[in-house]
Amino acid sequence: MKPVGEIRTAHIFDMVIDLHPRLNIGAGQFGQRVLFGAAGGSFEGPTRSPEPSTAACAGRA
């Protein structure tokens, strides 16, 4: 295995997401499938504090 140099990281934001109740989708190959939709929340960071969009996933199944 090739050695990897030091990986530098930086704090970008903290994220808090409020979830809708669990939606049971059904049995899958590896167990029960569930979905939690985003009801709201916030992003807070050193440079930006936008609100998350719940509409971005509204049309996806």
Residue 21 within a domain: yes
Structure tokens at 1: 């295995």
Domain count for the chain, please give it: 1
Cα–Cα distance between 19 and 35 in angstroms, integer? 10
Residue 9 within a domain: no
Is the pTM higher than 0.85? no
Instruction: Using the structure block, give the residue that is written with the tokens 């807070």.
Output: 44
Write the Ramachandran bin of 58: left for phi over 0, alpha for psi from -120 to 50, otherwise beta: alpha
Walk along the chain (61 residues) in steps of 10 and give the mean pLDDT of each run: 88 89 93 92 74 52 41
Residue 1 within a domain: no
Residue 56 within a domain: no
AA letter at 41: G
Residue 23 CB partners (closer than 8 Å, separation 6+) = 34, 35, 36, 37
